[in-house]
Amino acid sequence: MGSTYSVKYVRAQGIEGPEALQAETEQILADLDRQLSTYRSDSAIERFNALPPGSCEAMPPAVLELVEAGRALSEESGGALDLTLEPLLNLWGFGPKGTGTRVPAADEIARVREQVGHHHLRVEGERLCKDTALEVDFNSIAAGYAVDKVVERLKALGVGSYLVEITGELKAEGRKPDGSPWRIAIEAPRDDERVAQKIIELDGQSISTSGDYRNYFEQDGRRFSHTLDPETGAPITHRLASVTVAQPSAMRADGLSTVLMVLGPERGLAFAEDKGIPAFFVIREGDGFATKSTEAFDELFGAGGEQ
């Protein structure tokens, strides 16, 4: 995934040592990389992406599971999440086959959008099929899925207290040896330094943050985020700088943080409140930022929180 991971856990009687658990973790990550990575041509999903329109190919269970999860999130959010955006990401220069960031012409965007959309993709038994030259990109949910799989394996091996983080997505459960909770910082949306916006305690929850403050380019005084709105085929332009979501499933938290980032501060907050999603929004206001949180977030972590 082009990033890092870390696993912290409390060792107890009957639980294997760190070398064994590291080997288990890295096997899971290597398997998922071979199946889901869009940065290696031999992965299962890249083999599918290279197929011509009208093709079907048998895919591993992880690919099929993520396709269906992405479709469900897309339907739930009115299309705010779309796993088939890779051709558009490449066009803007943010994807694995991008040739440099640039603002494409309207006719280019319109042409590429014809190859995008979950309605062009279907699962038939163990096969994945497409009716146009679409490409699937799991980057909006793959890291969260990996967290869930590592946690599942650790728990099967007897680990009851852990903090698992993979490329920024994380989940924690249980307590540290001294009885204190796992505490994590929600990062302030700054591209010049790393500062904690809010500190929360986790026990059984996953946390995912999406933001536009690291991966973007500027042209003619305008800022273009790597987060694309499937409705327009272009980067988001609203004032939402970052959003953090809590869920029991890291994959769902990962996907929902993208959904809310696409929807923006008003529609995103309304969607999260309606669905009872614990979410924390950081919104640009003039030269500074304002924060808003949903009722579910305040109930879970407290309205004030530690700063």
pLDDT of residue 230: 95
Number of domains in the chain: 1
pLDDT given at position 211:
87
Q: Which of 26, 293, 55, 54 is nearest to 146 (CA)?
A: 26
> CA angle, 117 as apex, 115 and 119 as ends, to 5°?
110
Cβ 243 vs Cβ 280: under 8 Å: yes
**pLDDT for res 307:** 35
Read off the pLDDT band of 1 (50, 70, 90). Answer: confident
Q: What is the pLDDT of residue 306?
A: 40
Model pLDDT, residue 57:
97
Summarize pLDDT for 161-172 with one digit per residue, the tens: 999 999 999 999
Q: How crowded is residue 133: how many other Cβ atoms within 10 Å of its Cβ?
A: 17
Q: Which two three-digit tokens encode residue 81? A: 């999440």
CA distance 182 to 201: 6
**Cα–Cα–Cα angle for 205, 208, 212, nearest 5°?**
165
- 67-110 residue pLDDT tens: 999 999 999 999 999 999 999 999 999 888 887 888 999 999 99
- Rounded CA gap, 129 and 57, in Å? 7
In a domain, 254, yes or no: yes
Share of the chain above pLDDT 90, in %: 78
Number of Cβ within 10 Å of residue 113's Cβ equals: 18
Per-residue pLDDT, 190: 66
Query: How many angstroms from the chain centroid is the CA of residue 70?
Result: 11
Q: Is 159 within the bounds of a domain?
A: no
pTM, rounded to two decimals: 0.93
Does residue 294 lie in a domain region? yes
pLDDT, position 249: 98
Output b/e per residue, 43-74; b: 16+ Cβ within 10 A.
Answer: bbbbebbebeeeebeebbebbbebbebbbebb
Cα 184 to Cα 196: distance, rounded to the nearest angstrom: 9
Contact in structure between 245 and 256 (CB atoms under 8 Å): yes
205 lies in some domain: yes
Confirm whether 84 is domain-assigned: no
Residue range 19-71, pLDDT digits in tens? 999 999 999 999 999 999 998 999 999 999 999 999 999 999 999 999 999 99
Q: How far apart are CA 200 and CA 202, in angstroms?
A: 7
Residue-wise pLDDT tens digits, 102-140: 899 999 999 999 999 999 999 999 999 999 999 999 999
Task: Report yes or no on 199 lying in a domain.
Answer: yes
CA distance linking residue 81 with residue 85, whole number of Å: 9
From the centroid of its chain, how far is CA 184?
A: 18
Residue 287: band (very low, low, confident or very high) from pLDDT cuts 50, 70, 90:
confident
Spatial distance between the Cα atoms of 302 and 120, rounded to a whole number of angstroms: 43
Q: Measuring CA to CA, which residue among 99, 135, 129 is closest to residue 116?
A: 135
**Is pLDDT above 80 for 215?**
no
Residue 9 falls inside a structural domain: no
Alpha-carbon 79 to chain mean position:
16
> Per the domain annotation, does 259 fall within a domain?
yes
CATH at 284: 3.10.520.10
Tell me the residue range of the domain where 199 lies.
172-301
User: What is the end-to-end Cα distance of the chain in Å, rounded?
Assistant: 31
